Structure 1
């Protein structure tokens, strides 16, 4: 087996010498470690930190809501920190403590029971990563909820990733039946263009006019899950999807938002999300390379550089002192009319674009929010050790 090394070192080694990328990743990790403590609320993490500006133009952030899902993702990332650093970002508790609380919530089937398949899958994944003693019960809960029918693609991918993690834990019950079902479901969800739409294994979760559309998350999480499955067929399907999104990547490294799963083309590029640039795309593509898939190191580097120099705006997206990265660059289109129009036109005729929309609704608005899962995936991506699959 190859020796594990830092993913940053692999990505920025002698063959590529992009010192700016290494410095940027270090900077982003520092921002995450500063920002996460302020996002702690109750026994979990907030839904979002919303940025507001005072009369002098100085920003501050205000916590809003709470999210079990985002807490589980944060746990997956923070688990890779030394325990003293875990406690620093988690309000004095360890990741094991945080996950124990999540497991209790998932196993409570009374009033207020967790009903989201994706949430339960993420908690199962975190419980597997921590080898929690109640992992078998969480797996049973996940299996009971995953009864078939239409399911969102992201949820289906998280189920497979959770089961792939759980099968590595000694002493868990036989997962083969559920694992193979989840793997096959995701493989059958890929469309003729090599990409995934917003749902798999059925119809009815999304309107028919955008049934052909899949967002960036609908591509990244399946790529990651299939890479973690690791078998030849799964890696081949993940490789094709990765090739499609990398071919479509913007000139400045943008990972676009909506795709036509039938053709592999872009339906609508904006918003461009910071978490896609600094965490989710690198996470999936690095997992893929380490599973024997294609190396997309240069696409990862381009995506990271967008964070420091986004051409759509002159406003900084990384606010070091505040401990946030602003969530996205988008159109000033609160009704999402551009996305809707492009979904409908491409449904009628693949590739049909109303180019005038780019002039009428330019993509120059910055969404001043930051959510804890963004930093959870950031830590998960860059603190994981690589087995040398990329260069």
Structure 2
């Protein structure tokens, strides 16, 4: 099993200390021709990058034909980690113009003390493990302390998913049994406390209303980590959990390929469709749909095609989410109403109480004309090295 586009590496459970598990491609630039999509995404990220701070923007808009970046929101830290991971993945396959080692060094020098969130620790661990950076041990230690602190009930699906993703990468590449043991502990927590057996979906958290109101993002990161863990350690149980959850989510895809944002983990039903995010359609869904396809789940192929075709006008408002000149991808479709978040939570609570699934709206939907850097980073990560689907990767659908 080798889902996704990772270079094939030895990964025998529990671990194979004698294998040459160093992914040399992480340090060497690939020489494949760059697909049009990834060429334009890389150029857009250059416009989103601030070389002085070493950060990628929180939000970017087009004003008067030019990109305008916002670096004010603290999520710029997470978005930068995410984007560096995407660039790292793309450089395995393509000769893109990025000085990744210098960028990682600059980012950590200025921001290391601020990386304390459990999810961010997991994603940073993956980035550093894949770069063979010795500072990865600091984040392994942080994750160990988080688990020893007895605060598992406060961890979200994203926290646990990204920590498992990071520890699995560290164990796969470094071939250290201690890293494998930590990954095993995280996997058991997800399996025993987060996954709903009836649906295969994760609770978003272990307490409160959000226990049942899981987000598409939370589902994505749990499925991604299960696929990574299952394939790395040849764990058939993890693969079976992945397949169950993936099948449930494929069944929730909308009539035009859209993915819902809020999902009832217990019933496997849509609680609220909005916002419908471009990043879900063209990147984050691929983080589990590509492994599903590689595991032989052929129903994933049409789901992939319907997912990215949504961007090109095959959607509720009939508008392309992608623009050519200058290249840009609009963020989402959202309800045109105030107090969006509390209303969404209220609708979700009513849906749970009345067992009433959400419906797509015929009117009152508007386009959100911003773009986030992590979106473009996930495109690079998900699509780097992936063969096929040229209508998307070569932008044949973009008019």
Measured against the shorter chain, the TM-score band is: 0.7 to 0.9
Equivalent position of 1:195 in the other structure:
201
Q: How far has the Cα of 1:279 moved from its partner?
A: 0.6
Given the superposition, is the C-alpha separation of residues 152 and 5 from structure 1 closer, same or farther in structure 2, using an over 3 Å criterion? closer
In the alignment, does 2:354 pair up with 1:341?
no
Q: How far has the Cα of 1:51 moved from its partner?
A: 4.0
1:116-155 matched pairs, under 5 angstroms: 116-146=117-147, 147=149, 148-150=151-153, 151-155=155-159
Contact 1:48 1:64 in 2 (8 A): yes
State the alpha-carbon separation in 2 of the partners of residues 267 and 338 from structure 1. Answer: 12
SS, match of residue 330 in structure 1: strand
Given the superposition, is the C-alpha separation of residues 167 and 264 from structure 1 closer, same or farther in structure 2, using an over 3 Å criterion? same
Q: How far has the Cα of 1:327 moved from its partner?
A: 0.5
Q: Deviation per CA, 1:103-144, whole angstroms, max 9, x where unpaired?
A: 446754xxxx33211111111110011111222232112222
Equivalent position of 1:47 in the other structure:
58
Contact 1:214 1:261 in 2 (8 A): yes
Q: How far has the Cα of 1:267 moved from its partner?
A: 0.9
Contact 2:201 2:219 in 1 (8 A): yes
Aligned length: 347
Equivalent position of 1:13 in the other structure:
none
Q: How far has the Cα of 1:102 moved from its partner?
A: 4.2
Given the superposition, is the C-alpha separation of residues 222 and 2 from structure 1 closer, same or farther in structure 2, using an over 3 Å criterion? closer
SS, match of residue 320 in structure 2: coil
SS, match of residue 69 in structure 2: strand
SS, match of residue 79 in structure 1: helix
SS, match of residue 369 in structure 1: coil
Q: How far has the Cα of 1:193 moved from its partner?
A: 2.9
Q: How far has the Cα of 1:348 moved from its partner?
A: 1.2
Equivalent position of 1:358 in the other structure:
361
Q: How far has the Cα of 1:244 moved from its partner?
A: 1.3
Contact 2:5 2:384 in 1 (8 A): no
Q: How far has the Cα of 1:77 moved from its partner?
A: 1.2
Q: Deviation per CA, 1:30-79, whole angstroms, max 9, x where unpaired?
A: 33122101111221211111344x5xxx6753333362211111111111
Equivalent position of 1:61 in the other structure:
68
Contact 2:44 2:328 in 1 (8 A): yes
Q: How far has the Cα of 1:334 moved from its partner?
A: 3.0
Using the size of structure 2 for normalisation, the TM-score is 0.78
SS, match of residue 186 in structure 1: helix
Equivalent position of 1:380 in the other structure:
381
In the alignment, does 2:328 pair up with 1:324?
yes
SS, match of residue 89 in structure 2: coil
SS, match of residue 228 in structure 2: helix
Q: Which runs of 5+ in 1 are unaligned?
A: 8-24, 387-391
Contact 1:76 1:126 in 2 (8 A): yes
Q: Deviation per CA, 1:221-258, whole angstroms, max 9, x where unpaired?
A: 11110000111111111111111111111111111111
1:1-391 matched pairs, under 5 angstroms: 26-41=35-50, 42-52=53-63, 60-65=67-72, 67-82=76-91, 88=97, 90=98, 94-104=99-109, 108=113, 113-146=114-147, 147=149, 148-150=151-153, 151-170=155-174, 172=176, 174-188=178-192, 189-191=194-196, 192-199=198-205, 202-204=206-208, 208=209, 210-230=210-230, 231-291=235-295, 296-336=300-340, 338-351=343-356, 358=361, 362-384=363-385
Given the superposition, is the C-alpha separation of residues 245 and 262 from structure 1 closer, same or farther in structure 2, using an over 3 Å criterion? same
State the alpha-carbon separation in 1 of the partners of residues 357 and 55 from structure 2. Answer: 44
SS, match of residue 358 in structure 1: coil
Q: Which runs of 5+ in 2 are unaligned?
A: 8-33, 388-399
Contact 1:106 1:138 in 2 (8 A): no
Q: How far has the Cα of 1:322 moved from its partner?
A: 2.3
Q: How far has the Cα of 1:175 moved from its partner?
A: 1.6
